[in-house]
Structure 1
């Protein structure tokens, strides 16, 4: 290969790296229950105030008490690499060892619970709002997993309203989001180019609607009243189970068994695609760790093999079906895939999960990799869903995307 060709190839590879979106790296099997906590709440989707303490927690089930290290990088609003260098967004140093951990207590499954809080002595703080990724490495400098998190400033007011679809083909199955953004603290310059919104349904970044520009400006207000551009499938309420008392059959658990670890067998669920909507309160795909007899659930809640089952029918038998929820960051992987049991005419799966209260649903993954959440659950405009809205702003000549506003909405009070 000539020097000219080498330079051309290198330039192409660098451009691909610069403009390609970064993706989260899922953890290996021995890393479980990855969770972020802010000053005010526990949040599986880490959208935190820039003034909050940021806490990342996770469990390592190998019992080795091994060392883990963290690095933090900053990204543009579309999750492409930023041009900023580390001192521009981080005060102090990263690539430090996570020093705070405790071993499990009174559990069948041995694990170590790790906890990283920022600011700390080495990483004194994060300077600017926007998109971040935290990378966790082992003692051999091998990447174990990575997670996105976002820091926001309260510089604009974000009004969020959930409406029914205006299109007749989606009026019974979709929800749309209307936004009004206004501020007395920022004079938006050319908002069609400098302001964009991201809308996230049920804490799932993988189905977020991104890069939504204002539809029009009314005084100092930016108005978003799209229909199809900000529409989401309504879905259905999540299934749930609770096993905070691991020794007894609790909500939606049919029976239990103790082998090397506890096994909890859930009642068999059925397809709801062609059934009318039924109100059933949920926590929109999330989970809460809990142990009825524990003072410190983080280290006293045990791990349990959860046995899922879904009744098969003719429309499902040849489908690629997965268990889906925030318990693994909505990841589609081999561990979540359901297996068809012809003798019982059901799909089954077994997952190792920490005690608590969990939401989950079953989804179909098509041949092109697209996830169809409504194929088994159905889609209804009445479904209670939560929506989070982030407003990004990059002023003319600026080098990074700030998150200048954040708010939440719910379809509980959905209107026409």
Structure 2
């Protein structure tokens, strides 16, 4: 299964020099919309906080990429009307918070930057010295095809209870495909997590104006488990899954301990598939009036995980691994713990382990079950002979659900 799902550990989408940068979001303007895979022309907003709380000059830079995220052959003038690099000028200071910060935001497209081509894009934020502070991916697509997607329980008897199978069709009446193996590439992404995707797929069947991808095993994903969650929308009082609050330089929120059980059973719990939403009930503007709290995560175990490290994992850290979200073991109380500074809001998270092979395993602690509700996005890239770039000609979405 390792070779099927690509975990891009320490890839370019993770932060490089972001020691004081928190709460990075790249999303459409619609409320509770978390995906940066959107139709061409959709407004995406990038926002982040600088905890140094000073006035820095940050710039954004946009690069077009191939279907496999390598540099595109297009010049910036071929995919942008305007400039591919500009200063972020929407800067505001936090108000009435213990943790001071400066909030930055920019919407794309804007008067200086209008993207004209579909495809994969890398958005970089640069500091005054043109060093990359962090990067994020986004995809702009055309509605030139329709892609029905179905998600079902794995048919493999060995993974019947732990995996899900994704199957889909590409209906391409609107575009001519002469050689699908050369002209079409697809990617399947689980829960908007770029670290967990399947690529390098060929159609299993061909029909007039239709390509079928009906694999039995090659498009299997681990089901995982529903994400854990907490809600820190009230900074001074306990809320969902927060057991205790203390006040120091910032507020400290202590979460209910998680008890590890290797025989854990599946239990349905609605989640937002690892995402987070900034919100505060104590101010009018979440961007600048939501405070930061030091969240205390803990996991009780019978014994220490051998030759493995454990991390708190979710969209809040771009599904990545770093020292900031690592958990440390205390042999006296047999507990792993981590303290992570997070802006007020509703958060999903889980636990990930990593061993000597550097494989990030999100199933070892919380389990993996075929019943888990997941969202899968299929991206279709089209590059006919002689074309300079990979168009994204459509996406499809599928969800696993079962009668309860």
Give the TM-score taking structure 2 as reference length: 0.94
Distance 1:52 1:414, change over 3 A: farther
Q: Which of the residues 191, 210, 235 maps onto 2:199?
A: 210
Query: What is the distance in 2 between the residues matched to 1:191 and 1:130?
Result: 18
Give the CA deviation at 1:318. Answer: 4.4
Give the CA deviation at 1:218. Answer: 1.8
- Of Structure 1 and Structure 2, which has the larger fraction of its residues in helix? 1
Q: CA RMSD in A?
A: 1.7
Q: Which residue of 1 aligns with 2:38?
A: 48
Secondary structure of the residue aligned to 2:199 is strand
Q: Which residue of 2 aligns with 1:7?
A: none
Q: Check if 1:91 corresponds to 2:54.
A: no
Q: Check if 1:258 corresponds to 2:247.
A: yes
* Contact 2:59 2:88 (C-alpha < 8 Å) held by counterparts: yes
Q: Check if 1:105 corresponds to 2:70.
A: no
Distance 1:81 1:238, change over 3 A: same
Query: What is the distance in 2 between the residues matched to 1:414 and 1:404?
Result: 33
Q: How does 1:132-281 map onto structure 2 within 5 Å? A: 132-281=121-270
Give the CA deviation at 1:95. Answer: 2.4
Q: Which residue of 1 aligns with 2:322?
A: 333
Q: Which residue of 2 aligns with 1:37?
A: 27
* Contact 1:193 1:213 (C-alpha < 8 Å) held by counterparts: no
Q: Which residue of 1 aligns with 2:340?
A: 351
Q: Deviations over 1:316-347 (max 9, x none)?
A: 25421111100010010011111001111100
Give the CA deviation at 1:172. Answer: 0.6
Give the CA deviation at 1:151. Answer: 0.6
Query: What is the distance in 2 between the residues matched to 1:39 and 1:407?
Result: 21
Q: Check if 1:62 corresponds to 2:52.
A: yes
* Contact 2:150 2:166 (C-alpha < 8 Å) held by counterparts: yes
Give the CA deviation at 1:94. Answer: 2.8
For structure 2, list consecutive stretches of 5 or more residues without a partner in the other structure.
Answer: 1-9
Secondary structure of the residue aligned to 1:364 is strand
Q: Deviations over 1:137-193 (max 9, x none)?
A: 112222211111111111110101001111100111000101011032112221122
Give the CA deviation at 1:314. Answer: 3.1
Q: Which has more radius of gyration? A: 1
Distance 1:146 1:306, change over 3 A: same
Following TM superposition, the consecutive aligned residue runs of length 4 or more in structure 1 with deviations greater than 6 angstroms are none
Q: Which of the residues 379, 390, 400 maps onto 2:389?
A: 400
Q: Deviations over 1:205-241 (max 9, x none)?
A: 0011113222111221111111221110011111111
